[in-house]
Amino acid sequence: MASEKPQDLMVTCTAPVNIAVIKYWGKRDEALILPINSSLSVTLHQDQLKTTTTVAISKDFTEDRIWLNGREEDVGQPRLQACLRETRRSWELRAQTPESQLCLLGNLVSHKVGRTLQAELCSTLTLAPASVSPAVPSAYALAQAYGVEGDLSEVARQGSGSACRSLYGGFVEWQMGEQADGKDSIARQIAPEWHWPQLRVLILVVSADKKQTGSTVGMQTSVKTSALLKFRAESVVPERMKEMTRCIQEQDFQGFAQLTMKDSNQFHATCLDTFPPISYLNDTSRRIIQLVHRFNTHHGQTKVAYTFDAGPNAVIFTLEDTVAEFVAAVRHSFPPAANGDKFLKGLQVAPVLLSDELKAALAVEPSPGGVQYIIATQVGPGPQVLDNTHDHLLGPDGLPPRDL
């Protein structure tokens, strides 16, 4: 974990993307990032999507610096500052004596004891069409570097609310908590990544454009103006959290899929109920919704579910035995424009022919190029520490290589 130079420390971590099946939308405390309702998500496998962060700590650094995808960013961003502040506070709390500080930081030189150690962070995002935050790998890597143990929800949450659910693999809930200081607003795994091995995830990339209304501002307006959001948070979500947990624990796909779609639809209904309204779905998103319902109707059961976040891309949940047929249905409805061979990324999916009955049931006017590409993936583990020093994104001088 630590680099070769005894006075320095360098840690590289990766963290996964998570997709909410019970959505978080709205804060009761903007500064601490505390939500108005609990939420529940599925952690995606890092073989297909991940963020990587290297943290370096050295006695030679005179200031904090951060690079994102090779470009230096403003280290004064409030959320990054919150992450750094929380990590250092935890470190200082756990290290009251010089001896324990030395113990926590291994070989870090003694004359730094009692002073705040400067950190450098470098993040890179791999294949990230969804909203991906470097908050979790940053929080995780910082915690590893500073030797902070225990729950990191508080640190990760302050980088980005939904990011705290990426602290664990498998199926994760973010409990809204009740305390004003947010100490009980934490992420918790409800089932590990190997719990439901047949579950598959398809990300249908509709548009990689930047979203029109950012989540942070969007949810502020919704909290102020949407009566439906208030009703949802108080009267709908508590029951749905229990029901979704049951569906996952019992591997009840029909229940899981229907509730996932209903919760996505209600989240987008609260966006439309916001004033002025927010609209994240586009025509292609609505065609995907229609495709899923027609596919399920044809089969006489719920075999596929969609969910949409603060953008037009669809995330599809299905089971292993349905992936190939549904991918063929997407190809049929959205014929790839020019990149037929690059249409499918990630897990291998065998090509299959659609039956004439299914084609007739889908009854679609093909929309060429509507879906740019698909990423096929599955449920995966939580953040990982990379042991190989070749994985570091910062060189021995603490700077990112020029070609990053």
- Residues lying near ligand 2P0 in the complex (CB under 6 A) are found at 20, 23-25, 33, 39, 131, 160-162, 215-216, 267, 309-310
Residue number with CB closer to ligand 2P0 (162 or 313): 162
Residue number with CB closer to ligand 2P0 (77 or 355): 77
Cα–Cα distance list, 371 to 126, 213, 222 (Å): 20, 21, 29
Residue number with CB closer to ligand 2P0 (58 or 158): 158
Residue 310 CB, nearest approach to ligand 2P0 (Å): 4
Residue 204 CB, nearest approach to ligand 2P0 (Å): 16
Residue 217 CB, nearest approach to ligand 2P0 (Å): 8
Residue 120 CB, nearest approach to ligand 2P0 (Å): 23
Task: Specify the pairing of strand 119-126 against strand 344-346.
Answer: unpaired
Token pair 């939500």 is at which residue? Answer: 35
Residue number with CB closer to ligand 2P0 (26 or 147): 26
Residue number with CB closer to ligand 2P0 (267 or 343): 267
Residue 159 CB, nearest approach to ligand 2P0 (Å): 8
Task: Report the residue closest to ligand 2P0, judged by CB.
Answer: 161
Residue type, 397: D
Tokens of 200: 């598959």
Backbone angles phi, psi at 260, to 5 degrees: -60, -45
Residue 200 CB, nearest approach to ligand 2P0 (Å): 20
Residue number with CB closer to ligand 2P0 (159 or 370): 159
Long-range contacts of 243-246 (CB under 8 A, 24+ apart): 244/21, 244/22, 244/40, 245/40, 245/173, 245/190
Long-range contacts of 210-216 (CB under 8 A, 24+ apart): 211/131, 211/280, 211/310, 211/311, 212/279, 212/280, 213/278, 213/280, 213/310, 214/310, 215/131, 215/310
Residue number with CB closer to ligand 2P0 (256 or 343): 256
Strand ordering across the sheet containing 50-57: 71-73, 65-68, 119-126, 50-57, 9-15, 384-386
Residue 352 CB, nearest approach to ligand 2P0 (Å): 32
Q: Give CA torsion, residues 16, 19, 24, 30, to 10 deg.
A: 30
